[in-house]
Structure 1
Amino acid sequence: MKTLHLTSLGCAKNLVDSEMMLGSLELSGWQAVEEPAAAELLLVNTCGFIRPAVEEAVDEILRLAEYKQADPAKKLVVTGCLVQRYGKDLQAELPEVDLFVGIDDQQRLPELLNVLPGNGGLVLRQPCRSLLNSAMPRRLSTPPFRSWLKITDGCNNRCTYCMIPSIRGDLRSRPAADLAAEARALEQAGVKELSLIAQDLTAYGSDLGTDLPALLRLLLAETSIPWLRLLYLYPASVTDELLELMAAQPRIAPYLDIPFQHVSSSVLRRMNRRYGLEDLEQLISRIRSAVPDCALRTTLMVGFPGETEADVKELLDCLQRWQLDHVGVFPYEDEDGSAAADLLPKVPDEEKQKRFDRVMELQAAVSQERLQRYVGKEVDVLVEGLSQETDLLLEGRTRFQAPEIDGCVYINEGTASPGDIVNVRIAEAHIYDLVGGISS
């Protein structure tokens, strides 16, 4: 049996690609091992979306190269967005790597490994056009009771700061029947929470003459998966039809991850986002009117070129007024090749950090206040297993908490197995987490 060690970096969408690669490699006689020292093949699926991700990927490649240096028989192969973005530049910068593989050729890895050149070869096709399908083997790396369903690849939005269209290509939607087939297979494997993911979930089907509500209706009809979760929706494209469907279907989690990026209309114009502050105000009102208990998550960027103190104050005022459940914040950084890299004036790094800290501090208080509304109530919780903090507690999530990005529920009374959905009475609320016991 040939052995491999796979490192998957970046987002959940990238993780699905890694699971597909691992599935095809296992069918070709490869076996995954946890320790790099025990592997013949060291495989890295990289992220290349932003500079910190690029730096993380290079650091990981160099770390694994040390194992190859100790044992020259090992092979080091790098794939993913970093390869798709930088291509030939990597060959000169990373001679330790035996093969670089672009995204479109990831499913050909078993074939490519049979003729591994061993001299830093590059297999890369541009623009990226590949699309997963349910016939491809897949080895889940998540717990068996939850998984991701990647419904599109690429993106047609042209946000000035974003490199995804140049890396991943234009939008490509998977046929609804194919997605339903994969969802049925995942349900048979034990999945109870299925998170739909894409660069822009609301763009699904615009290239096929269909849309997200139609896909959801098919998934509801053809599976019995208890929790369907929607991640990464474009603010201007959240329709009343979608919200009405969520309100009518309890299996669709009352949770929406909608990256706003900012609230200032002037900043949003420079980002080439197709909405302004008034649109966001109306969106939040529509969501809370249609789905009153819906948890809202967003992502915000501070320090975008031209952002003023007035823009930051407007952002803080909106967060205080809107009382969003979950907010991720990151400082803007120039990306080579992006339109935003040429925009002026730049915000100094020190000022970016100050603005980041101000937003995070305000949102921490908002989050703690929002969680207080669960105290004394009973909520359904999907049990993940023993807590990462202590073996004396179980850990799980409500429908209002997405996996790996939001807080959790610490269960201090009762017993349950991973994958169980249990009723928990909430006794305490902290900044990001809840505490409670399983109801008898």
Structure 2
Amino acid sequence: MNKILIVGGGYAGLYTARGLERQLGDSEAEIIIVDPLPYMTYLPFLPEVAAGSIEPRHVVVPLRRHLSRTRIIQAKVTGIEHASKVATIQPEVGEAFTLDYDVLVMTAGSVSRTFPIPGVADEAIGMKTIEEAAAVRDRLIANFAKAAALPEGPERDRLLTVTVVGGGFAGIETVAELRDFATHLLSRFREIRFEEVSFHLVEAMGRIMPEVSAETADWVVEDLRKRGVDVHLETQLQSAVDGVCELSTGDRFASDLIIWTAGVMANPVVRATDLPLDERGRVTALATLQVARDGVVVPDAWTAGDVSAVPDKSKTPGPGGFAVPNAQHAVREAKLLAKNIVAVLRGEAPREYIHDNQGAVAGLGLWNGVFQKGKFAIKGPIAWLMHRGYHGLAMPMWERKWRVFGDWWSQFWLGRDIAELSEREQPRLAFETYASRPKPKVEVEA
């Protein structure tokens, strides 16, 4: 029996494991996933979670529920020696241990890529995890409540200022969804005027959303500006110390909510392995998804998703000729990856990954979106419906699809849920505040 170790339970890891479960018999392989999280997150829905359109738990897929034959180890991989086929595993509780394997699948995904800008590490929050998206939603609502109780002034302005750094799809969808949500909140917080709420989008390049045409990108910029978003192009964030944003243009403003979406990088776990990496820290691979060193296959090692440098052989290849780090590539690579692993185990030849681009679609708030494929573009409500239709059906597992569609259906009739639960980050605070404690002992003199 082959022991297949999958490092990472995101898109690529989940779909690879499901494919292997379906194609390999019980006696053919033991499948193991190691990930510190017990679920996969559908990242394209994070902006809608932050905007209160989807319940946070509904955009994650519990691995133990949907992988019936795969062994789930909730822990970190701290090292891999593929030459001897041994991985070092560090659980959250207890001592580290080693795990032998026969086939390695590296699908550890990506993390937020930041730069050493003063204050960013201390003040900003990403939009890469479900926890971050839920926290952004709670922070925005809580800030409205705090500001509503304050007189006009610097502190009120700071609470009502949101800054998003990064003009890619994640940044654009985040700022558009939050702007739309903030406008909705004004109907519940009548003490706050539209003009008091400030949104800033900071992008270092001269345009946004490189996946769409310049004309479409310009339309999105104008749409955001009409809705009250200050779009700063060809501008860099130079400091965020104490929540005060200083831009390369000289602009300076205080912002209580700073969201970083300016790119991703391969999960640093790959640096603790003997696998070949490119200059960006990604595992180098062939189009067959086999790990390769200088074009030569590394036996029994496979990779897919954001952590890998997979050649893009489509008609419109990504930057540098590699597949870009997004969900569309990760899911499709993983489905082929499972088939290729089975093929090699059975003495057959693997197939190359050739991506058929289905276009790019983004949601820009309720009833507003944009879609582009080639030179064909759609803007407005129809594109928004296409966005929800595509991603709703792309959400893994039917029970999760139904939960997401149920959220949208409920919202259509009942409106957004604006209850914020930021106190859950300190769940014992109320209990500790009022809990009785033993009185200090009084020593009696003899």
What is the TM-score normalised by the length of structure 2? 0.27
Give the number of the structure whose alpha-carbon radius of gyration is greater: 2
